[in-house]
């Protein structure tokens, strides 16, 4: 709404448009273009200046407001999650109607969950994950009484988790896991380096059309292979051969080969494919697969 106000949009204007939208949705879910027509002139074009600011009409402002209030929800067109096209529907009953938690309390609960999921982590990593500004992120952490994982460290952790982590003993036997590149162990902190052994930091990995050292990555370009929390390799699924193409930084023993085969069978028989992200496709990952084969 801040951007819209700078373009001369008033709260009253958005309220009128919001009422027109909810009235239109009484008859059923509608796509944005259908809502624009049903709003009967309530949607205003914000012109060239609006386009410069990434806001061409007032419709997204009203839709965003109604979603944040729990009045409407988005429904992927054709029920598919691999595209950015939605219809909107009334959300009844409103899930926020009896919600009593304040925004600050919600931010703190989000922080509690984040650090319980992936701690130890830094304030900056939580700020990226939550989308909060530095001030709000710091305030969200205050009630949790987080402690440094070690003296002088930036990484913070819940006190009870620190005790549990320090008492943990790494299993002697390998425990291999083939995970998505969006798995929480990599995606929540975007800290690939923290998952690598020292000797693996300089391994070259194909990212787009060039190679980068593994230790310089924030995100994995392909799915990951883990062993007891350590990143030991990468994998992709090739649809044409119905097989997992993979590389590791460590020797390939029978147990690891068995884990890959098990994953391959599951994808082939249950999923049909394993995408890295919603718009990924067999064609778009061809270069990554070839890079894994070459290495």
For the chain, 295 residues long, give each residue's pLDDT as a single digit of tens.
Answer: 888 998 899 999 999 999 999 999 999 999 999 999 998 789 999 999 999 999 999 999 999 999 999 999 999 887 766 667 899 999 999 999 888 899 999 999 999 999 999 999 999 999 999 999 999 999 999 999 999 999 999 999 999 999 999 999 999 999 999 999 999 999 899 989 999 999 999 998 988 888 899 999 999 999 999 999 999 999 999 999 999 999 999 999 999 999 999 999 999 999 999 998 877 899 999 999 999 998 7
pLDDT at 237: 98
As given in the structure block, the two tokens for residue 270 are 């249950």
Structural domain harbouring 108:
103-167
pTM for this prediction: 0.77
Instruction: State whether 187 and 276 are in the same domain.
Output: yes
pLDDT at 80: 67
Q: Are 166 and 261 a contacting pair, CB within 8 Å?
A: no
Q: Are 157 and 146 a contacting pair, CB within 8 Å?
A: yes
Instruction: State whether 193 and 261 are in the same domain.
Output: yes
**40 falls within a domain:** yes
DSSP state for residue 179 in the 8-state scheme: E
**78 falls within a domain:** yes
pLDDT at 20: 96
Distances in Å between the Cα of 208 and the Cα atoms of 225, 234, 285, 286, 289 are 20, 15, 10, 11, 11
pLDDT at 108: 98
**97 falls within a domain:** no
**21 falls within a domain:** yes
- Give how many domains the chain has, as a whole number: 3
């Amino acid at each position: 709404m801040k951007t819209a106000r700078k373009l001369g949009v008033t709260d009253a204007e958005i309220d009128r448009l919001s009422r027109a939208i909810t009235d239109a949705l009484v008859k059923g879910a509608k796509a944005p273009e259908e809502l624009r027509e049903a709003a009967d002139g309530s949607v205003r074009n914000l012109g060239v200046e609006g386009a410069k600011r990434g806001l061409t009409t007032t419709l997204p402002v009203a839709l965003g407001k109604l979603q944040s209030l729990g009045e409407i929800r988005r429904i992927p067109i054709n029920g598919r999650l691999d595209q950015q096209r939605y219809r909107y529907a009334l959300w009844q009953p409103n899930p926020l109607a009896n919600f009593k938690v304040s925004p600050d309390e919600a931010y703190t609960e989000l922080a509690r969950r984040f650090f319980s999921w992936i701690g130890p982590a830094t304030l900056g990593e939580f700020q990226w994950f939550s989308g909060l500004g530095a001030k709000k992120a710091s305030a969200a952490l205050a009630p949790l009484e987080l402690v440094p994982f070690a003296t002088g460290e930036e990484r913070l952790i819940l006190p009870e988790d620190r005790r549990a982590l320090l008492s943990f003993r790494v299993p002697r036997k390998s425990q291999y896991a083939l995970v998505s590149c969006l798995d929480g162990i990599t995606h929540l902190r975007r800290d690939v380096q923290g998952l690598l052994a020292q000797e693996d930091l300089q391994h070259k990995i194909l990212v787009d059309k060039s190679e980068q050292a593994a230790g310089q990555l924030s995100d994995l370009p392909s799915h990951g292979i883990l062993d007891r929390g350590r990143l030991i390799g990468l994998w992709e699924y090739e649809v044409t051969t119905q097989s997992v193409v993979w590389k590791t930084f460590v020797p390939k023993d029978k147990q690891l080969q068995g884990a890959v085969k098990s994953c391959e069978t599951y994808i082939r028989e249950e999923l049909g494919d394993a995408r890295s992200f919603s718009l990924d496709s067999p064609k778009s990952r061809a270069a990554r697969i070839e890079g894994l084969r070459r290495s």
